[in-house]
């Protein structure tokens, strides 16, 4: 594997899951594979889990790691092409990217949707420039439209906890005070569609995701109906995708918060969220602290998904 930006890049998903569980059994069995190789992680946006889990995964493989927070300590980067650089951004991404590539073997990039230009966001302008100009394998640490390391960890977690071969998995929109990208729900839907799950998406009207990601999912506007018989509830907020409301918050209706009454409609479902989560907006304290909440186990699997991806990229270096 050269680059990792979406589920298709992994190739055989069942084989990748098998490799992930092998790594989970003994995460230090491949410490030679990354020897004298350097991972550079570039963050245009904040992170707790991705930063720590990916760095830990790289260290498990014997890699050296470097982290650059673009907005803290680096030159402000111009990302637009063809502009007169007479403003506050002294370096262009077109020089910065190949320079970064000189100092490492693999690059991880986090760059969220900006909600300024839908076409730019959905064309993954930043991530694709790293792929085009760095001369290095590049993997997404959450880009504008997808968060594949998260989705891979989500799938590993579902595989670990599922009680039936084809569980009912429900992705539910939940309220949040600020506009959040669609990357996590898009990606989760993409990965669920790549597997054989009974997959349902529920959200208020106006929050329809890009049909490319919805795929074969059943879309149900009645959240309580969607929860009935569910084995997994995956909560997430996202801002509107459809025009003319792209990137807007249309509702903060707390009747969509995941609470114990709604969880009682499910088949004793596990509660999942990628974190960070706003308690009592997305999910009540009672649900997130209940034994059915597997958000910490899910976050722990971020190390496994990152290590599986890095190992596959190292094999092709």
Q: Which is nearer to ligand CP, 219 or 275 (CB)?
A: 275
Check binding of 218 to ligand CP (CB under 6 A): no
Check binding of 50 to ligand CP (CB under 6 A): yes
Check binding of 49 to ligand CP (CB under 6 A): yes
Instruction: State the nearest-atom distance from the C-beta of 87 to ligand CP, in Å.
Output: 29
Check binding of 142 to ligand CP (CB under 6 A): yes
What are the distances in angstroms from CA 260 to CA 188, 257, 266?
A: 23, 10, 10
Strand partners of residue 258: 283
Q: Rounded to whole angstroms, how far apart are CA atoms 10 and 161?
A: 22
The helix or strand, by DSSP H or E, that contains position 67, with its residue range, turns out to be strand 64-69
- Window of 118-126, 232-240, 273-281, 282-290 that interacts with ligand CP by CB under 6 A: 273-281
- Window of 43-51, 66-74, 254-262, 264-272 that interacts with ligand CP by CB under 6 A: 43-51
Interface residue with ligand CP, options 40, 174, 226, 274 (CB under 6 A)? 274
Q: Which is nearer to ligand CP, 146 or 203 (CB)?
A: 146
Instruction: State the nearest-atom distance from the C-beta of 274 to ligand CP, in Å.
Output: 4
Interface residue with ligand CP, options 67, 179, 275, 281 (CB under 6 A)? 275
Check binding of 297 to ligand CP (CB under 6 A): no
Tell me whether residue 33 is exposed, middle or buried, using C-beta atoms within 10 angstroms of its C-beta: 0 to 12, 13 to 18, 19 or more.
Answer: middle
What are the distances in angstroms from CA 57 to CA 127, 234, 273?
A: 21, 25, 21
How many CB atoms sit inside 10 A of residue 278's CB?
Answer: 15
**285 within 8 A of 59, measured Cβ to Cβ:** no
Q: Rounded to whole angstroms, how far apart are CA atoms 71 and 100?
A: 15
Check binding of 94 to ligand CP (CB under 6 A): no
- Window of 48-56, 57-65, 168-176, 220-228 that interacts with ligand CP by CB under 6 A: 48-56
Contacting ligand CP within 276-295 (CB under 6 A): 276
**269 within 8 A of 230, measured Cβ to Cβ:** yes
Q: One symbol per residue from 150 to 169: x for binding ligand CP (CB under 6 A), - otherwise; what is it?
A: x-------------------
Q: In which residue are the tokens 């602290």 written?
A: 289
Q: H-type helices in the chain, by residue range?
A: 13-25, 49-60, 93-102, 118-122, 125-133, 148-161, 183-193, 211-214, 223-227, 260-263, 285-288, 295-315
- Window of 26-34, 245-253, 274-282, 303-311 that interacts with ligand CP by CB under 6 A: 274-282
Check binding of 111 to ligand CP (CB under 6 A): no
Instruction: State the nearest-atom distance from the C-beta of 176 to ligand CP, in Å.
Output: 14
Chain residues binding ligand CP by CB under 6 A are: 47-50, 142, 150, 274-276
């Amino acid at each position: 594997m050269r680059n990792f930006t979406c589920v298709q890049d992994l190739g055989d998903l069942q084989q990748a899951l098998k490799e992930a569980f092998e790594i989970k059994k003994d995460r230090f069995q491949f410490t030679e594979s990354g020897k004298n190789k350097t991972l550079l992680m570039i963050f245009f946006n904040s992170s707790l889990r991705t930063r720590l889990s990916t760095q830990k995964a790289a260290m498990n493989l014997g890699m050296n790691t470097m982290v650059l927070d673009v907005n803290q300590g680096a030159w402000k980067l111009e990302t637009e092409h063809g502009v007169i650089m007479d403003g506050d951004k002294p370096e262009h991404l077109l020089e910065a990217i190949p320079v970064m590539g000189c100092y490492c073997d693999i690059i991880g990039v986090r760059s969220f949707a900006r909600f300024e230009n839908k076409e730019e966001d959905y064309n993954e302008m930043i991530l694709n420039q790293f792929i085009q100009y760095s001369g290095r394998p590049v993997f997404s640490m959450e880009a504008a439209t997808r968060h594949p390391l998260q989705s891979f960890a989500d799938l590993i977690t579902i595989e670990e906890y599922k009680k039936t071969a084809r569980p009912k998995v429900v992705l539910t929109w939940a309220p949040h005070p600020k506009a959040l990208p669609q990357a996590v729900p898009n990606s989760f839907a993409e990965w669920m569609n790549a597997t054989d799950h009974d997959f349902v998406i529920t959200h208020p009207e106006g929050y329809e995701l890009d049909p490319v990601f919805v795929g074969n999912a059943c879309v149900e506007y009645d959240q309580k109906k969607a929860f009935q018989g569910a084995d997994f509830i995956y909560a997430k907020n996202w801002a509107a995708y459809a025009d003319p409301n792209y990137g807007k918050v249309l509702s903060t209706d707390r009747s969509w918060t995941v609470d114990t009454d709604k969880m009682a409609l499910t088949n004793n479902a596990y509660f999942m969220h990628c974190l960070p989560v706003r308690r009592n907006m997305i999910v009540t304290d009672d649900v997130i602290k209940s034994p059915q909440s597997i958000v910490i186990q899910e976050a722990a699997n971020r190390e496994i998904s990152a290590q599986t991806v890095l190992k596959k990229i190292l094999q092709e270096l």
